[in-house]
Structure 1
């Protein structure tokens, strides 16, 4: 009972010094896919690993709380990568990615420093002119820095490491179905983005 009362008082105190944070954002992303296959996977695709150069347009938003005067904030984050292109040596894929996670950070003057964890990271991809659409899921970690240009306009740089660990029976390719681990040793996507956000 005492713990519940103390927690309630703490939350009330935090609420008194907190304001809502809403931050739409848009960015241009570049990065790479790095996929390594098991011996079973190599028997299907014919190589032990593949790598691509990626590009995409990102958009999304944060919604959370900003605590004054400390500048500390935390927020939920929803982000979509659209019109994605992954260029391999032998072919090109298109991709779409959706992430949901939590960010924490703090403002120091005009500077904003933040890190985040995406507990839901879904990647859909398909070879250009192909018919098989594949789906993989995983998690990702992110870090970035922002600079407030003018009032509610900030410029941001961000890096994200996406790690995919599961496939889907809806995937057209055998190696990206539910027995994903049988064929894929590792599937990482690294992305770097630059863009604008509009914190309110």
Structure 2
């Protein structure tokens, strides 16, 4: 991936098809929220592959706040995303660091919630997420960043399951940017089968 790489319509379609083939399943599933669903999306097989992460990172970078100094997300789903977007930014000659938000404070040492090069208080950070359902994981990350003194205006997700996450983000004063909606991924999976 070089700074000349553009996330164009062909790259978008390539990522959508990859998500439909590798990340999406249709059946009966219990989600992390406890809800039952006939749709399951696990983006990790795509985000943890080099070529998949390259596509995702470039697409997400296009939506990161222009004034953001870092991207952050809740471990584990956002770990490759924040690293990939920071790398894509570096290749595009943009300064952007990556932060990982722990699910609970570190049990030793400094007891830190955040890992990575911490910016100055008041800095703008964009949160990244792999899949948004109700928005709970994203909002936890946002809350920890705000508690640490940072400003968050936007959450970017690979897939919005369209189950209330956008509404929860709006209620918290956040803009949710989705690379894809669940209906796009499931429709593409049907087309490819």
TM-score bucket (shorter structure): under 0.3
Structure with a larger share of its residues in strand? 1
TM-score by length of 2: 0.23
Q: Give the structure with higher Rg (CA).
A: 1
